[in-house]
Copies of this chain bind each other. A is one copy, B any other.
Amino acid sequence: MARTISIPLGVDPAQFGELNPDFFKALGDPVRLALVAYLAHLGKPSTVTEVSGCCGVDFSGVSRHLKILREAGIVTAEKRGRKTYYALDADKITSSLHGLSDILEALSK
């Protein structure tokens, strides 16, 4: 699967912010979206064990989902001892959303 979109002919690549399908794909799964909501609810870096059980999936699956979220720049992962703390990466999420907001702004002009 492509990591970035191929800019269509006639579209100025600089016209819009970065548009990465992997970012949206990562959020396009109900479990991962629930994990994001739950991480926001907890409001602090949390472990796989802590967030498991909120989505009805095995913790191994949660681990995999968190990896996908991390690779998409949605969460950060920090290892401390035998625990890994996952937290929302607000800055990266914001910048990933800019591509879309730019499109909407361009439309209203």
In the complex, what residue of chain B is closest to A10 when comparing beta carbons?
A: B41
| Binding site secondary structure of chain A | helix
Partner of A24, one of B2, B11, B24: B24
- C-alpha gap A106/B40 in the complex (Å): 7
Cβ–Cβ contact B30 & A6, under 8 A: yes
In the complex, what residue of chain B is closest to A94 when comparing beta carbons?
Answer: B104
Q: Is A9 an interface residue (CB 8 A)?
A: yes
Q: How far is the CB of A52 from chain B (nearest CB, A)?
A: 11
- Shortest C-beta distance, A66 to chain B (Å), equals 14
Q: Which residues of B contact A100 (CB under 8 A)?
A: 27, 93, 97
Please tell me if the beta carbons of B25 and A28 are within 8 angstroms of each other in the complex: yes
B5 and A37 contact, CB distance less than 8 A: yes
A binding-site residues for B, Cβ under 8 Å: 1-2, 4-12, 15-16, 19, 21-34, 36-38, 40-41, 43, 53-56, 88, 90, 93-94, 97, 100-101, 103-104, 106-108
